[in-house]
A and B are shown apart, each in its own frame.
Chain A
């Protein structure tokens, strides 16, 4: 009789959702990483989420909506074993030992890499949608990304600026990096290649000032240096040539994962291009 009961439940679920895509119950899951947090929060139903990564509540993460309802994981294996989710969504950069242990204990792990091209980003969203059980939402996210991409391209239009993506301590993402490919995708030219950086490297202040790109792309506006790495970006020599109207600001949290936040990053870029282009 039990199987009949199961079938009835399944039919009921189908009837409620009204979607043929949901052949089974979507898996109950936990997310182990800030990047997978972003994916899970966008793609999964709130009832599916049994836990988020321990960094999910950091101020600089700021997700859409209220996330205080979700439990925060420790980052280790213990609490995940206790929760016993159907699926553990982790990043390939998380602690290997923890992932191995969870696998050995029979948990299903989805290990997502950090995408390095736009195609990989789309692919990852699609994959995550399938795993989480909401391919329809993944399709919406991909469409959102493509629309944002088109808007950014229109904003660049014929102004093929030469820009330098610049992070704390003078780190420059190379022309072959994700940021570099994103910039060239929308028609901007990365000046990183002129410094000889293909994959990225640290540039000295002198070299940057000497290079004179049209704009620098940074992750933070404002005049507060919490540490030396940020003080680099506020050095008077750099501020002289790159005052706020020469700085394109894209918040770090939108770019570091390259997943569902990418559309937001592109929209931020579009808005910044309109601001500095006047």
Chain B
């Protein structure tokens, strides 16, 4: 395969993904508990039709769709960036306990009743907690982290975050609070508003810019740390950039939706066979795949018939965990050998 072929294939795949995401956005705007015809949806979107239809499409479905789009993208991008940084296909925010830690930060604010849940206190707390967790993990694992150490430390950190969250729930005095936190932890995009969009977007966009700006560094790093350094990549600075970018993105996302797992792990893997192993070129397709996955999952929870709503975070985990097991099986030799 020549270079030109590869480039054509990459561009084709990216364009097809973008088209898929656009299609899913339209479907996401088109379905909901109230049946509206595609024409009515289009009309309402551009300010026509009845005021009820307008409110349903523009104030209920549109923010939900935008959040799925952006959060899916930042999760996919975070996964691809961490995998690029660590040169490790099992790296992802979920396995490192970042969403769980972000959830703990947000839950703490909810439980203490310090601020309105629609205030910036929530994403800020989530971001700080996510930053802390990834920072601690990378400090423990060291520079040339083996798979085993990374996964074990990730497990420890997410368990700790889970235990801390459980403690907050345990100590809660308001009986409603425990229920609220439990629901919130399941992860959902349901009935969000533009207030939530305003809450999450600044952080998600900032995180995305930080991660995307490092694409050349990831590429250099894939040639080995020393080569990268000789090419002028400051690896220490790169690490800090990636940790901050992931924390901003994941923290901002978790603060408005609760934990939505495994998109960051799955998305880059789906793209690698198509795009190749260049971590710099994997970023955009992974982000698009993340969007497509989350949009599709969020559409699925609205279609699947059930007596009470399935939360989208539950669905992504149900699909994501078997995928994770499959990855472990594939990486078994590296894991068993203890080299990696």
Residues of A in contact with B (beta carbons under 8 Å apart): 58, 168-170, 202, 204-207, 209-210, 212, 224-232, 234-237, 240-241
Whether the pair B110, A236 counts as a contact (CB closer than 8 A) is no
Whether the pair B191, A170 counts as a contact (CB closer than 8 A) is yes
Whether the pair B183, A206 counts as a contact (CB closer than 8 A) is no
Q: A207-B33, A240-B55 are in contact. Are A235 and B177 (CB under 8 A)?
A: no
- How many whole Å from A91's CB to the nearest CB in chain B? 14
Q: A170-B191, A204-B191, A237-B55 are in contact. Are A228 and B34 (CB under 8 A)?
A: no
Option from B116, B184, B195 in Cβ contact (under 8 Å) with A236: B195
Q: How many A-B residue pairs have CB under 8 A?
A: 76
Whether the pair A205, B177 counts as a contact (CB closer than 8 A) is no
Whether the pair A237, B59 counts as a contact (CB closer than 8 A) is yes
Whether the pair B110, A226 counts as a contact (CB closer than 8 A) is yes
Type the 1/0 row for B28-59, where 1 means its CB is closer than 8 Å to any CB of A.
Answer: 00001110000000000000000010011001
Q: Is the interface of B mostly helix, strand, loop or mixed?
A: helix
B118 at the interface (CB under 8 A from A): yes
Option from A204, A227, A241 in Cβ contact (under 8 Å) with B177: A227
Whether the pair B183, A169 counts as a contact (CB closer than 8 A) is yes
Whether the pair A227, B176 counts as a contact (CB closer than 8 A) is yes
Which chain B residues numbered 50 to 88 have a C-beta less than 8 Å away from chain A? 52, 55-56, 59-61
Option from A170, A202, A206 in Cβ contact (under 8 Å) with B34: A206
* Interchain CA distance A224-B119 in the complex, whole Å: 10
B194 at the interface (CB under 8 A from A): yes
For A229, the closest partner residue in chain B by CB is: B180
Whether the pair B33, A236 counts as a contact (CB closer than 8 A) is no
Q: Is the interface of A mostly helix, strand, loop or mixed?
A: helix
- How many whole Å from A206's CB to the nearest CB in chain B? 4
B193 at the interface (CB under 8 A from A): yes
* Interchain CA distance A207-B193 in the complex, whole Å: 16
Q: A205-B60, A210-B34, A236-B195 are in contact. Are A224 and B55 (CB under 8 A)?
A: no
Whether the pair A224, B60 counts as a contact (CB closer than 8 A) is no
Indicate the size class of the contact surface on chain B: 20 to 34
Whether the pair A225, B32 counts as a contact (CB closer than 8 A) is no
* Interchain CA distance A240-B58 in the complex, whole Å: 12
* Interchain CA distance A168-B181 in the complex, whole Å: 13
Whether the pair B117, A237 counts as a contact (CB closer than 8 A) is no
Contacts of B184 in A (CB 8 A): 227-228
- How many whole Å from A262's CB to the nearest CB in chain B? 21
Whether the pair A241, B55 counts as a contact (CB closer than 8 A) is yes
Contacts of A228 in B (CB 8 A): 110, 117, 180, 183-184
A/B interface sample: 6 pairs, CB < 8 A: A204-B32, A205-B191, A209-B34, A228-B117, A229-B179, A240-B59
* Interchain CA distance A237-B195 in the complex, whole Å: 11
The 6 A-B pairs with the shortest beta carbon distances in the complex, nearest first, are A227-B180, A237-B59, A204-B33, A206-B34, A210-B34, A205-B191
Whether the pair B116, A225 counts as a contact (CB closer than 8 A) is yes
For A232, the closest partner residue in chain B by CB is: B191
Type the 1/0 row for B191-231, where 1 means its CB is closer than 8 Å to any CB of A.
Answer: 10111000000000000000000000000000000000000
B173 at the interface (CB under 8 A from A): yes
Option from B60, B110, B117, B177 in Cβ contact (under 8 Å) with A209: B60
Among the interface residues B59, B190, B191, which one has the most CB atoms of the partner chain A within 10 A?
Answer: B191
Whether the pair B56, A210 counts as a contact (CB closer than 8 A) is yes
Contacts of A234 in B (CB 8 A): 118
